[in-house]
Amino acid sequence: MTAIVRHSHTRIAGRLLASLWLLPLLGGGFAAASDTALAPDVSAVRDRWAEVAYEVPKADRQAAYEALVKQAAAAREAHPGDVPALIWEGIVLSSYAGERGGIGALGLVKQARKDFEEALAAQPDALNGAAYTSLGALYYQVPGWPIGFGNDETARKLLNQGLAVNPDGIDSNYFYGDFLRDQHDYVGAAAALEKALAAPPRPGRELADRGRREQATAALAEVRSHLASR
């Protein structure tokens, strides 16, 4: 999710976090069961996240995420040690960073990384390995040293750990496919994206699933275009 020097500094104004607002990181059937155990305020953060990510107009999205950051922080503070609350705060912070972009986003993704690392230390398989996948996504999308902490080798390891927990999930496969596309491994990317599109639906996550499938479909079309041009 190739060495960190491969991340050019220009990515901070371009690709930097451009897709992190697309992080609905709960997968498959187990995740649906896990969702039922979410505290109501954490569940409200999850549901509002999907609305902001996929329904709020672009012009209003940054302000909506900023408000959701406060809501997610309140949910996390209300449930000390609650791993799903940590994960969802990290997802919201990452999403806000992706919408905001630029140098100011780096502080947000560093806080998100802290949330995901705390979640992994406490319960690595929580929400079907969501922290592995979301942290892996950060590592391949954030610039490397000296600007950020991005590292493709670390990203690959984390994304594979997420796949080990959730081998058939839409998000674990999507982000691995997106990472492989970034690495120009178009054969591997196509396989992962096809698997993402074949993932089982998540009850109660229809909006998130629809948005992710749209992204996977677009990414797969690009990958197939590269393969056809060889």
pLDDT tens-digit map of 53-70: 999 999 999 999 999 999
Give 75-119 as a DSSP string: HHHHSTT-HHHHHHHHHHHHHHHHHH-STTHHHHHHHHHHHHHHH
Q: Where does the pLDDT of residue 230 fall: very low under 50, low under 70, confident under 90, or very high at 90 and above? A: confident
Token digits of residue 1 = 């999710």
Q: Which two tokens stand for residue 221?
A: 């079309």
Q: Which residues, including other chains, have CB under 8 Å from residue 26's CB and lie 6 or more apart?
A: 32, 34, 35, 46, 127, 128, 130, 171, 202, 205, 208
* pTM for the predicted model, two decimal places: 0.85
Q: Is the dihedral of CA 130, 119, 145, 16 positive or negative?
A: positive
Cis amide leading into 146 (omega within 30) = yes
Q: What is the pLDDT of residues 66-121, one digit of tens each?
A: 999 999 999 999 999 999 999 999 999 999 999 998 888 999 999 999 999 999 99
Per-position b or e across 97-133, b if 16+ CB within 10 A of its CB? bbbbbeeebbebbebbbebbebbbeebebbbbbbbbb
